[in-house]
Chains A and B, each alone.
Chain A
C-alpha cells in the first residue's frame, strides 16, 4: 500500500518568513494530495490539495507543488503569521482515491 513520509517533524520560522514542508510518497497510482491542519486541541481541517493533472496550485498564501517523477510534494506557506502555528499533515490517495494515507505531521511554530 501507499506510504507517505513527511520529512520535517518540526519547523520553526519567524513571522513573515516562508515555511516549506516536504512529503514523499511511494504509490505511482496516487493522484490526490491534500494537506490538513491541526491546531492545538482541535481536529483536522482541510487547507489545500493538488491533483496529479497539475504541478502547482496556489490559494492565497499557500502553494502546493507536485513532482510526480520524484514522487514528492510540498506545502509552501508564505508570509507566515502566528496563527499558522499548527501541525500540518500531508496525505496521498494511493490507488483508491478515497483511502488517504497520512504523513506523521509537521509541527510548525511561527514566532513573532
Chain B
C-alpha cells in the first residue's frame, strides 16, 4: 500500500498562471479531502468528496479554485490565475469514508510557490 500519492511534490508558477495538483487516494477509500497548510493560517479545510461526489467545498475560494474527482483513483485541485497568497502546501487525505469521523491518511503534499 503506497499510501496517498500527491504529484507534483513541488510546483512553482508565475502570478496569473494555472496550477493543477493531483491526488491518488488509498485504494478502497471512499472519502477524499483537500487541506491547505501555511505557517500563518495553519491547516485549512478546502473540500471533501465521498464516493467521487462533491460533498462540501465550503473552504474553497470560489472564484479561482476548483476540485474534481473524475474517478475513484484520483482527484485534482485546480487553481486558476494563481496569486502569491496561494503559496502553501496543499495536502490531500483519504479515509475509508464509512460516514462517521475517521482517521485521515495524508499524502506528502504539494508545495506550491507562486512568484
Interface residues of A (CB under 8 A from B): 31-32, 34, 36, 42-46, 49, 51, 89, 93, 96-105
Contacts and interface: CB of A to CB of B under 8 A. Distances in A.
A47 to B, nearest CB: 10
A105 B42 contact: yes
Residue of A42, A46, A98 contacting most chain B CB atoms (<10 Å): A98
B42 A99 contact: no
B31 to A, nearest CB: 7
Interface stretch (B10-18, B19-27, B68-76, B105-113): B105-113
B88 interface: no
A100 B104 CA distance: 10
Nearest to A47: B103
Given A99-B48, A99-B58, A100-B45, 4 more contacts: A31-B101, A43-B108, A89-B42, A102-B43
B100 interface: yes
B101 A89 contact: no
B60 to A, nearest CB: 12
Nearest to A97: B101
B56 A43 contact: no
A3 to B, nearest CB: 11
A45 B106 contact: yes
B43 A32 contact: no
A89 B103 contact: no
Which 9 pairs, one residue from A and one from B, show the smallest C-beta to C-beta distance?
A: A32-B101, A102-B43, A104-B42, A43-B106, A44-B106, A46-B103, A97-B101, A43-B108, A93-B101
A46 B91 contact: no
Given A42-B108, A43-B109, A49 B42 contact: no
Interface in B76-115: 91, 100-101, 103-109
Contacts of B103: 34, 46, 49
Nearest to B92: A43
Contacts of B106: 36, 43-45
B7 to A, nearest CB: 14
A46 B94 CA distance: 12
